[in-house]
């Protein structure tokens, strides 16, 4: 099949090429009306949105997404919180995206995050820290596949 003239459609592996990361705007930030300001900040930071949706995780899906934390004492609370309302999921593109975005959003704990970072501005506590960012290229690839079909990802 020929590529459409609107956008190239690639496989998750082709599209998550080391310059892309997965972010979530967490339920509390969505509920507080901060989707717009957070997306604005992401774009001002030079991250290009190549996939995005408003969605909601079930408790079981949140458990799968955060399976790496299943032994941690906060796991159940975190999964309950992450499934309590809508979230925004997006794939972002920038050079060295995983590391650049983690630097950009600030420390996990908003109290320790730079005041002007997304977590510093919009996070309220360690758990409700406004946004998620993938922690490795491999996890970015897995997390992108968790939320997006290949046809929902738009490369230039």
Contact residues toward ligand GDP (CB under 6 A) are 74, 77-78, 108, 126-127, 129, 132, 135
| 132 belongs to the catalytic site | yes
**Cα angle, residue 80 at apex, residues 86 and 42 outer, rounded to 5°:** 45
| 41, 94, 119, 132: the active-site residue | 132
Beta strand pairing call for 87-93 and 48-55: antiparallel
Q: How far is the CB of 9 from ligand GDP (least distance, A)?
A: 30
Nearer to ligand GDP by Cβ, of 78 and 121: the residue is 78
Smallest distance from the beta carbon of 125 to ligand GDP, in angstroms? 8
Residue 12 CA to residue 92 CA, distance in Å, equals: 13
Return the number of the residue (43 or 125) whose C-beta is nearest ligand GDP. Answer: 125
Report the chain's terminal Cα–Cα distance, integer Å: 18
Residues annotated catalytic, as ranges: 132
């Amino acid at each position: 099949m020929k590529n459409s003239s609107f956008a190239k459609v690639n496989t998750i592996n082709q599209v998550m090429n080391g310059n892309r990361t997965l972010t979530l705007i967490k339920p509390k930030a969505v509920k507080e009306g901060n989707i717009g300001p957070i997306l604005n900040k992401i774009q001002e930071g030079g991250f290009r949105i190549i996939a995005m949706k408003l969605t909601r995780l079930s408790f079981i899906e949140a458990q799968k997404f955060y399976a790496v934390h299943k032994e941690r004492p906060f796991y159940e609370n975190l999964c309950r919180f992450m499934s309590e309302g809508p979230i925004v999921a997006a794939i972002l593109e920038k050079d060295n995206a995983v590391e650049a975005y983690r630097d950009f959003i600030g420390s996990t704990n908003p109290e320790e995050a730079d005041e002007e970072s997304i977590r510093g501005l919009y996070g309220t506590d360690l758990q409700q820290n406004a946004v998620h960012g993938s922690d490795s290229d491999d996890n970015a690839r897995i997390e992108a596949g968790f939320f997006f079909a290949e046809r929902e990802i738009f490369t230039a």
